[in-house]
Structure 1
């Protein structure tokens, strides 16, 4: 019986050692991130904290929080990459290559550049799911006055 318990304990300890940390952003990039991980990444990339829930909502609709998501169905034969589905045409402006766009932080930094130049309407998803995204909730993020914040910052709604 003691040998059996020792064997079970040993096997369980191997499973614990092999497990990936749940919160690691540098872990397997093909893995789906949580909305909290995406929000943290957007904030780290420089998005204003007040707008993070809205952009997190965009990431959910654009890629289902998958850093390696790719859309190859654009009418102009370009592709959209990563969390916020950054189009090929932005690689030069963001000084990135295609592989970089699958890195959540680099993708978010490029998305920030797009946001600063075109506002949220740069994403067709925002136009389609605006009401849902403006009400999107993430623990510890206040979205109560999000519309006022967007207007105050002269951002295109």
Structure 2
């Protein structure tokens, strides 16, 4: 046999490494990204529509992203010590989940650095759309979910939270 062709033991190690990567990094990271991207929509957009202030929206967005990141880090880290599920070190998973939650909430907060709230909102809509497509792509790539179905699920969930934020902000 050629030295370049892996044997069965090497193949099983590769499969196990892929499984561990998905369980210990991709899954908690995706949960965080989804939570951060979706759960922060309502407070951020409600603030933008209620105050018409980019600065206030930026502050609320940062606070929401930080709070959600800390909450999800502790939630993930304390929910499973890894011994039953094989999902690995809970501190590491908590850090991955918390960081990705923060990133998911912070990315669509960044447009509110723009002083004009209407321009900031327009850019934030685009950022949210990109976030949701990235989530759908990750689900498709690592969890073998149909891309179309994943887009539909993620967009419906995000749309419901966004609509709630807009309705609350305009009341």
- The answer to whether the superposition gives a TM-score over 0.5 is no
TM-score by length of 2: 0.31
TM-score by length of 1: 0.33
